[in-house]
Chain A
Amino acid sequence: MFLEQFDTLCWNSIKESIYTKTAADVRTALQKSKRSLEDFKALISPAALAFLEPMAQLSHKLTQKRFGKTIQLYAPLYLSNECQNICTYCGFSYDNKLKRKTLTPFEIMQEAMYLKEQGFKHILLVTGEASKTVGVDYIRNAIALLKPHFAQVSIEVQPMEQEDYEALIEAGLHAVLVYQETYHKADYKIHHTKGKKSNFSYRLATPDRLGKAGIHKIGLGVLIGLEDWRTDSFFTAMHLNYLEKTYWQTKYSISFPRLRPAEGLIEPKVVMSDRELAQLICAWRIFNEEVELSISTRENEKFRDHIIQLGITSMSAGSKTNPGGYVTEVESLEQFEIDDSRSPAEIVQMVHGKGYKAVWKDWESFV
């Protein structure tokens, strides 16, 4: 279990070791053909910002070698904004006294058919954490409804037990995204004050439970803005290394959500610049040539247009972050504001203009 490894790590000393990396360390990392975790520290360090162009060129080359000139497209489908957790950064937070909405099976199909018409074959189901109304049975039912219409059905919902995941995989689940938000255990408590999500260790052990359940893909990430992103990213890299070695049949993806404005919520503690986000994406690619890197519509058009050449392999398009947001109840409470509001067709055009092929479908159910 990663928890055991985690308990031996010290946030402050890791942070210091990242911030004291030098230009020479960055050069060494860039010259190698396989990079270690220490090299990753150098690549995400402040010293590496001066190497952004060579990092970008290397990342571009490595990404094309592995993934070709393709970008996978997916869309989130928010099923519910009911939530019993209090989280300082999230629009669905329990203490946010706004009207809640959970889609009925009919409404799920209504939203899904809209996304299908847009061309989507990969879909990500998102909910808050409300185990009574949006529990394992609700999610299993949603997966079963959607499976005949989509090549990949993935989820970003509350952490579950191994046997729950096994049941969902049986129903057709492809991937689970579960972001730790921050690996800073003390600060995690400050941002997650109430509800099941306040249990740091249970969340941290979720990828282990997923690996044991035999999931196809696990998505990792931290919410950038809560804590020092460099240290948090390093913890994510350690977590990924552990998972790749332990659950070697599972595929992994990394996301880079930056804290966005949402109804009644905190300002980021740490602001990450666009240059720094580009650095982080390149650093990930140079460190791990095979991992999928994903970017959402949280980011603005210009940034997204350019970042696809720097290491990203999948992106969402035309997203709504509120349940019913596509057609059913367009004004319901959203999780966060999106920035890039272009339609999927416009994104396909943009991707094509960059010399890439937008890929809608890259999976077939074989079992």
Chain B
Amino acid sequence: MNDTLIIAGKKFNSRLFTGTGKFGDHQLMQHALTASGTELATVALKRIDSEDKEEDILSYLQPGSIALLPNTSGVRNAKEAVFAAQLAREALQTNWLKLEIHPDPKYLLPDPVETLKAAEELVKLGFIVLPYIHADPVLCKRLEEVGVAAVMPLGAPIGTNKGLRTKDFLEIIIEQSNVPVIVDAGIGAPSHAAAAMELGADAVLVNTAIAVAANPVAMAQAFKHAVTAGRTGYLAGLGAERNAADASSPLTSFLSEL
């Protein structure tokens, strides 16, 4: 079965996107990413250190199979985001951008107003924009209208490992979206990733759960399998959930007696 994900013309065989932060060691990160089978990894512009090659996270992300998705973590408004995007394009030689604007440094929740504003401008500047947003179906449509390549609604506050707390809204987003939906943030266990894929998400992005696991490489493999299992389950056509068995039809059986 051909089940390739396409975002802005680029094909992905893996529907597991990863982050690169929070790992105890660059080498370990590299091994975990390889084990995950990911083909897209996001990297914070603020962590890139072009002056120190040995320290630089990029030198561990060079091999061709993983594309880089620079993110704007740290910016607080649209103006800073546009500037950061241009720095990122220069530093990483890519038009791809995970747009994240969180003026709130405590819960790192995305600012919908600034994100929409920045997305519109960045699309005009030729960026392939993947915005990190709250699971807000209307915002997703508005972003789609200004030309983003995908949307990245959160499952729970970032780094909390709480799973799909926004499930009801994710379902609406997935139902309505004309661009790929990538569930980002809050996915803390392989079962959460599988659940997101079963809902019909096009991909998930996982960082904390892999990076801070006791064995990041094994956890990366577990996520790889979970995403595949969830996606296969979705494609195979899940049965509807039932609360109780319904053998009889008390309200309509009279119809056959008429």
Contact = CB atoms under 8 A, between A and B. Distances in A.
B22 A70 contact: yes
Interface residues of A, number: 29
Given A121-B49, A361-B47, A364-B84, A65 B104 contact: no
A290 B106 contact: yes
Contacts of A23: none
Contacts of B124: none
B87 interface: yes
Majority secondary structure of chain A interface residues (helix, strand, loop or mixed)? loop
Interface in A192-230: 217
A291 to B, nearest CB: 8
Given A65-B159, A290-B106, A357 B25 contact: yes
B52 A362 contact: no
B9 interface: no
A306 B47 CA distance: 25
Given A65-B161, A244-B106, A360-B55, A366 B83 contact: yes
Contacts of A357: 23-26
Interface string B204-230: 000010011000000000000000000
A238 B76 CA distance: 26
A250 B22 CA distance: 22
Interface string B69-104: 000101110011101100100000000000000011
Contacts, number: 83
A364 B23 contact: no
B160 interface: yes
A364 B87 contact: yes
B107 A69 contact: no
Contacts of A366: 72, 74-75, 80-81, 83-84, 87
B23 A68 contact: yes
Contact of B24 (A69, A217, A249, A367): A69
Contact of A364 (B24, B25, B45): B45
B137 interface: no
Contacts of A352: 25
Nearest to B88: A364
A326 to B, nearest CB: 19
B112 to A, nearest CB: 15
A66 interface: yes
Interface string A45-87: 0000000000000000000111111100000000000000000
A251 interface: yes
B21 interface: yes
Contacts of B26: 357
B250 interface: no
B237 interface: no
A61 to B, nearest CB: 9
B103 A68 contact: no
A242 interface: no
Interface in A338-364: 352, 355-357, 359-364
Nearest to A360: B55
A106 interface: no
B23 A69 contact: yes
Contacts of A244: 106
B46 interface: yes
Contacts of B24: 68-70, 355-357
A134 to B, nearest CB: 30
B63 interface: no
Contacts of A362: 46-47
A359 B125 CA distance: 32
Contacts of A69: 22-25, 211-212
Nearest to B45: A364
A64 B24 CA distance: 10
Contact of A367 (B21, B52, B83, B106): B83
Contacts of B45: 364
Contact of A251 (B55, B80, B105): B105
Nearest to B106: A290
Contacts of A68: 21-24, 208, 211-212
A249 B52 contact: no
Contacts of B104: 248-249
B250 to A, nearest CB: 43
Contacts of B75: 366
A268 interface: no
A64 B48 CA distance: 21
A290 B22 CA distance: 14
Most interface-central of B26, B49, B208 (chain A CB within 10 A): B49
Given A360-B52, A364-B87, A290 B23 contact: no
Interface in A222-264: 244, 248-251
Contacts of B76: 249
A70 B106 CA distance: 18
Given A68-B22, A364-B84, A366-B83, A359 B106 contact: no
Interface string B226-258: 000000000000000000000000000000000
12 contacts: A66-B159, A68-B211, A69-B22, A248-B104, A249-B105, A250-B105, A357-B24, A361-B46, A361-B48, A361-B55, A364-B45, A364-B74
- Return the 7 tightest CB-CB contacts between A and B, nearest first: A68-B22, A69-B24, A366-B80, A251-B105, A364-B46, A64-B212, A361-B49
Given A66-B159, A367-B83, 10 more contacts: A65-B160, A69-B23, A70-B21, A70-B24, A244-B106, A290-B106, A290-B107, A352-B25, A361-B46, A361-B52
Interface of A: 64-70, 119, 121, 151, 217, 244, 248-251, 290, 352, 355-357, 359-364, 366-367
